[in-house]
Amino acid sequence: MSDTSPRGGALHELRRLIPYVRKHTKLVVLGLIFITISNICSTTIPYVVGSTIDTLGSSSFTSTDVAWLIAKILALTIGSGFFMFATRRTIIVMSRYIEEALRNDVVAAVKDQSQRFFNERSTGSILAHFSNDIGSVREFIGPAIMYTANTITTFAFALSWMTSLDVLLTAAILIPVPLIATLTYRLGKRIHSTYKVVQQEYEHITTHAQETASGIRVIRAYVRGAFEALRFDTLSKSYYERNMQLARVQSLMMPGMTVLFNISYIIVLTVGGYQVMQKALTVGELTQFFIYLNQLLWPIAAIGWVTSMIQRGAASIGRLGALYDAPSDVTSPLVPRDIAISGIVTFDHVSLSYDGTTRVLDDISITIPAGTSLGVVGAVGSGKSTLVGLVPRLYDVSSGRVLVDGVDVREIDLHTLRSAIAVVPQEAFLFSETIRDNIRFGNPDASDDDVVLAATRAQLHGDIMQLAEGYDTVVGERGVTLSGGQKQRTSLARAIAADPKILILDDALSAIDADTEDRVLRELQQIMLNRTTMIISHRLSTVQQCTTIIVLENGRIIESGSHAELVQRNGTYAAMFERQQLEQQLS
């Protein structure tokens, strides 16, 4: 599994969010204005309450005076609540917009990667970014920013009111602040490092859950349900332990804040009470101090909560950043060649190595004229699938060139190149949609008649018509409701409906019985007319009609020619053909 952990400090990682926030500057500014007005209203209330208490303590007041003061308190309360609501409607909504943008950017970053990227990462690890990391970033952008602004403005206005009443008492109240800052900094660092580990454990458990669900048939077939349940339990316990470790760190924040905050109450009661006795403060002014302290309770408590969200958000955006920064070794050229693809494919001294040392393909050279076919055979691991994967640029060569119509595929726009190619892989993948939509996937504009024609040519139409819903049958995840042969034929029909210039069949008939294969091959002869076709197969009967057949061994071409020519040579191909003929006779 690749390393997607963030590098650098929290602030360094959070800088990645600046471009996203800039797109919604208006909402951020409005939100900050609204929360400022809200806190102006809320911090004015204690002053009015104190004035009311002092007015009631005097002998010269009327009911009108008291009613007017109560009306001011009510108006300020409504104003504070309304503008806090407006704050949430701007900043929180902004965070949802950014969450959407992040999801889209993750998809964009993943879809443009080469096959090597997916070989190095599990599906579960990629899904973890969507299900957990993006949510943590949103919590930072929305609630964390809102509560940070709330804390700053509340402190600023409350302290200004308190200072205007008594500077000495205000200074005494601030004694615990350095201790609060120290506590926040130290616990924040621990939360950041611990949360990174939690996310990695979540990635592991997501990967296992995804693989278990996808491979449930294999698990049941080999009676490994109890074993997989035990594995999941082990991963779940590890995830639980890491979360408990994070919870223990986070649980220190609030009690620590509360203790330090209560010290301020003691200071107000001691110093303020003494000043009241000395007539330096009125009872109403001392009451104001207590109300201001109550107003500061949530912002101070929020420091710990916000710190936790910031550290979690930084860890998550770091993991997302590692995904964004993952270099793609397959990209479209900045200035692509303008080309109308006809289908001439040339491998010019092509070599490929995944790790830079071991060659998977070694000096492959062959030309496939437009409208002809190439059969590729060889032992498992000889490089067959890798070879044909170079044409649509699932990989790029380490040396040499792959040419289409005489142009290096690296000079052709990826969309243009891949739009002219249809690939039918051995492991047919179907989406959890209707059969009609699966066949139409490669050509969304295909008519219903085109879909039926493609299915008929793939020898699938009869099977479909036996289903209750026909072409509108939903095949389930990965086509689970269909047999292996039906899935392969659906995948073949998808390629036929796409009407490509270059058709690649990667052992696409391996799950089909011999009789059905024979009928499919007869249809393929018509389909292959006027289009370049590359066929990989372990069954030599599948490639016998190909214009040229090559035999791969350890990434090199050891034999090349037509079926008749290769049989006459008495080499590797002839031995394979004789063995398969014998197996067919024995069966």
Tens of pLDDT along 217-267? 677 767 778 888 888 888 889 888 888 988 888 787 778 777 877 787 888
Residue 479 has pLDDT above 60, yes or no: yes
Residue 505: strand, helix, or coil: strand
Give the containing element (helix H, strand E) for 348: strand 345-353
| Three state DSSP letters for 357-407 | CCEEEEEEEEEECCCCEEEEEECCCCCHHHHHHCCCCCCCCCEEEEEECCE
For the stretch 63-93, pLDDT in tens is: 887 888 889 999 999 999 999 999 999 999 9
User: How far apart, in whole angstroms, are the C-alpha atoms of residue 450 and residue 477?
Assistant: 24
Tokens of 193: 């490092």
**281, 282, 288, 294 alpha-carbon torsion, rounded to 10°:** 80
Looking at residues 349-354, what average pLDDT do you find?
91
| CB-based contacts of 113, cutoff 8 Å, min separation 6 | 326, 328, 330
Contact 194, 245 (CB under 8 A): yes
Name the superfamily (CATH) of residues 10-200+250-325: ABC transporter type 1, transmembrane domain (1.20.1560.10)
Contact 382, 437 (CB under 8 A): no
Tokens of 68: 């007017």
Task: Tell me the CATH number for domain 427-499.
Answer: 3.40.50.300
Q: What pLDDT is attached to residue 80?
A: 93
Q: What pLDDT is attached to residue 449?
A: 93
Higher pLDDT, 76 or 181: 76
Give the angle 467-470-472 at the CA atoms, nearest 5°.
Answer: 125
Tell me which of 178-182, 339-343, 457-461 is least confident.
178-182
* Residues 400, 358, 392, 101, CA torsion sign: negative
| Ranges for all domains in the chain classified under CATH 1.20.1560.10 | 10-200+250-325
Partner residues linked to 502 by β-bridges: 421, 532
DSSP state of 338: P
* Residues 460, 466, 467, 468, CA torsion sign: positive
Residue 36 has pLDDT above 80, yes or no: yes
In order of 80, 142, 201, the CA distances from 92 in angstroms are: 18, 5, 29
Contact 161, 43 (CB under 8 A): yes
User: How far apart, in whole angstroms, are the C-alpha atoms of residue 350 and residue 450?
Assistant: 37
For the stretch 500-548, pLDDT in tens is: 999 999 988 877 777 888 888 888 888 888 899 999 998 898 899 899 9
pTM: 0.67
For the stretch 22-35, pLDDT in tens is: 899 999 999 999 99
| Ranges for all domains in the chain classified under CATH 3.40.50.300 | 341-420+501-576, 427-499
Q: What is the CA radius of gyration of the chain?
A: 35
Give the β-pairing of 373-378 and 532-536: parallel
How far out from the chain centre does Cα 2 lie?
Answer: 15
Give the containing element (helix H, strand E) for 180: helix 177-214
Q: What pLDDT is attached to residue 399?
A: 93
For the stretch 385-397, pLDDT in tens is: 999 999 999 888 9
- Mean confidence (pLDDT) of the chain: 85
Residue 474 has pLDDT above 80, yes or no: yes
Higher pLDDT, 483 or 37: 37
Contact 538, 552 (CB under 8 A): no
For the stretch 546-582, pLDDT in tens is: 999 999 999 999 999 999 999 999 999 999 999 988 8
Q: What fold is seen in the domain 341-420+501-576?
A: Rossmann fold (3.40.50)
User: How far apart, in whole angstroms, are the C-alpha atoms of residue 233 and residue 501?
Assistant: 50
Higher pLDDT, 514 or 5: 514
Q: What pLDDT is attached to residue 217?
A: 65
* Residues 505, 510, 513, 514, CA torsion sign: positive
